[in-house]
Amino acid sequence: MKIARFYQKTLFGIFALMGLIVASTSALYVSTVDHQLKDSLQRNSHTIARSIGDSNIDLIVNWNYSAL
């Protein structure tokens, strides 16, 4: 009877450890992907704004935004 109880505690400990590993890996993955997507979005928005600004200065100076 004591052997079965020992195995139950060990099995619970293994499952708890696996749950902790899965939770920490998931949190790290979500944080990394979020950081990379924010950097990508910021880089792309700067590129788009710069290309619009450099495209034709006369359109911007003459307030002809619809031509952009």
pLDDT of residue 41: 92
How many CB atoms within 10 Å of residue 56? Answer: 13
CA separation, residue 6 to residues 2, 9, 11, 13, 20 (Å): 6, 5, 9, 11, 21
> Dihedral sign, CA of 17, 23, 27, 30?
positive
Average pLDDT over residues 42-61: 79
Q: Where are the domains of the chain?
A: 2-67
Full-prediction pTM beyond 0.75? no
pLDDT at position 50: 85
The pLDDT of residue 49 is above 80: yes
Q: What is the pLDDT of residues 11-46, one digit of tens each?
A: 999 999 999 999 999 999 999 999 999 999 999 999
**Which amino acid type is present at position 4?**
A
The pLDDT value recorded for residue 3 is 66
